[in-house]
Structure 1
Amino acid sequence: MLLELFPYLSALLIEEVERRPDKVVLRARVRSTTGVCRCGRSSSRVHGGYVRKLRDAAVGGVGVVIELHIRRFRCENPACAAVTFAEQIAGLTTPHGRYTPLLRGLLTQIGLAMAGRAGARLAAAVGITVGRDTLLRMVRALPEPEIGEVEVLGVDDFAFRKGRHYGTVLIDMATHRPLHLYDGREGKDLAAWLQGHPEVKVICRDRSSGYGEGARVGAPQAQQAADRYHVWANLGQAVEKTVNAHRSRLAEPLAAAEDGPGHSEAEPEVVQPSKELKIVTWLWEQHAAAHELWAQGMSKAAIGRKLGLHQATVRKLVNARSAGDVVAKSLQRAHVVDPYVSYLHQRWNEGIRNAAQLHREIQQLGYPGGELAVQRHLRRYRTGRGHAPAVGPKPPSVREVTSWIMTHPRTPQ
């Protein structure tokens, strides 16, 4: 009966089966009277023995442990470097192994599918206790699969730490199987890999200039293309950039209505901010400095080091046609106070100028922010004790207009 459940134990003689609350223990010994040394010579001279414990796959949700009596034989081959050797059972034991091949294969598949923590939880649910580090070691111990010939290669980056540390992944686009990972996004690393794979005919990549240069150097015979994701992403960025450049026109009808025949001259003058916002001034200055250094031939990385800016910020400043594009995109971002501006302006024009009181009032309406944000918004209207502008219908944001253009007409909004 046991051999039907455990056919890989046919070389053993099961002497005892013990059922414990947390596991089943099988005590066994080898049927054969001889052992085979690694030199290939068999021996029947027993030098000693010990008990070896092997963990096996769970049965009925309970773990199985095989307590195997192992004999140590003396090798009778004078040319063999081993004086004694421990017997090994084919298909069951490996030198220094604590798991049967069946259990090791099962845990390896769990590690591949679920990784460390999740894999350990799944293994515990089926009666196998294993640590997350053990699962990861089993996955790392797997031999690297053969890459073979790759005709269509996908190249993209991924973030170890977003905004700071990136790596590159290479994908076989025919099988969608990862082929290689390397640290950084440098073109020279891609070129080095491509030089070892001259069979590559097509390279799918994003718009990174580093990847483009690496592809030209490493695989001049390959055609470079953008995959569907990057084509759609690039189109979306172009549409958003175009909408952002014309967004100021969305406010013209409101301004015209205020200046029209129905506009009363007795209304108080709208007080404009006393000075330009700091972020606007900073963007103008940094845009001018970045473009001046770029015109001198400095790289974006060098500009970032000189100005103390992140590489993404330098890229945004250099790629912008004018400082106005950067300023408009920065100012159109939603603020936590925006949904309550109409109420704040109404109360301000009614004579309530205490920011703390106004903060308490909009808190009752669901405002999640702090009082400082309210003070900053109202600070621009304190000069001259003027009225806050009336808030009309808010024009759609750049993202909303972009979504209207990019969405298929038949897709429900």
Structure 2
Amino acid sequence: MIRLTVRRFICGTADCPRRTFAEPFARLTAPYARFTTRLGHVLEHVGLALAGRAGARLSAQLAFPVGRMTLLRRVMGLPDPRPSTPRVLGVDDFATRRGQTYSTVLTCGETHRVVDVLPTRDSGPLAAWLATHPGVEIICRDRAGAYAEGARLGAPTAIQVADRFHLWQGIGRAVETCVAAHREDLSAPPPPPQEGVETSNGNSERIEPAPDGRRAQRKKAAHAMVHELLAQGYSRRATTRHLGWSLNTVLRYARAANWQDPLRENRPRPSRLDPYKPYLERRFAAGCTNVTRLHRELTAENAPVTYQMVRAYIATLRAAPPQAPPPPPTVRRVTGWLTRHPATLSEDEHAALKDVLARCPELEAAAAHVRDFGEILTHRLGSTLPAWIDAVDASQLPGLTGFALHLLRDLDAVTAGLTLHWSSGGTEGAVNRIKKIKRQLYGRAGFELLHKLILLQ
């Protein structure tokens, strides 16, 4: 409780309707006010920062509980700022209700402050605003046709600048269309069949590379000696006595048509478990991995197998199977590789992109066009844009050709965007701040309140 002593004044004029009045304290409070002036300023700042419900929760923690509508009324009671007409104007849209209602935010390209908010994103309100605010020299915008028309009608002498971010975003969509049209080329071709010779029964026999080394030379010489003696008329036992070798060794070389046959890996011998391996594989895939149980199931069927056989084969199934070939890269991933700076790609991504481009000449041409456009955008080489458009038009690539020809409809603004340093970066930042304000309002909010909060932020 504040006890305040004030002075009382009496008017000496006889015909004055107010004979007495109290001394005012403007720095402390106002007539009929429920809050002091200082508390009112605090509520205004809380309302601007957190809007309704969130501001009410904070004010309750600060020991001056107020309702959300009180905070919003304090905000609505603030006077609108009166900024001067900017020389560089940024124009962009934002959703007041996503997918249904959109508005336009105007910002100063030099200070990045919000200048005004228009209720729609049509050309009429923008043209009317520009007509009533002469002095705008440069208009930074996206490539929406309504904003281009509104800028042309409201400020015909102003230079329109297309935003570089939206240009790169547009070429990204075009590249994605081009990559999707060549989706079949993203997967690696199947490995070629093993070369071989056709045998008499029509089967193809694989030709293995000739072994090398001392052991191979000894085997080759021994195979030649055995077949030379057999060709001279020696019998196999006579060849055994002549060479001093065992009969099995001579028989192994005599039966081998090629000297490489004895060097080949020994084929696995048939096992009594072979007929039951498919059954074990099915049971293992179904989740049964207990060796004792599997062995008991086989012995119940009178299978001539031992516990050690089953355990050894289950151990091989438990081992990690060979990894399947990696899936082909998706369209969006390849698009990201093509539109990102090469320095940001890892070695694996470089190798994968190189492999994709080697299989598809069209994508390789698209990658070259994207690199050239990136050079134009980065180094502000807007004067070379017509030559780039002609080159893309000649290549007739899906997506990219349409994007390049569409630039001709707005060529002056695109050329200015690729030449001047002005952009819509500050306007995009204002749109992000507006989204934050909308989240604070918890859904629907009137345009007047949203307009007030945007201007006073």
Q: Which has the larger radius of gyration?
A: 2
TM-score w.r.t. the length of structure 2 is: 0.44
Higher helix share: 2
Flag the structure with more relative contact order, 1 or 2, with Cα contacts below 8 A and sequence separation at least 6.
2
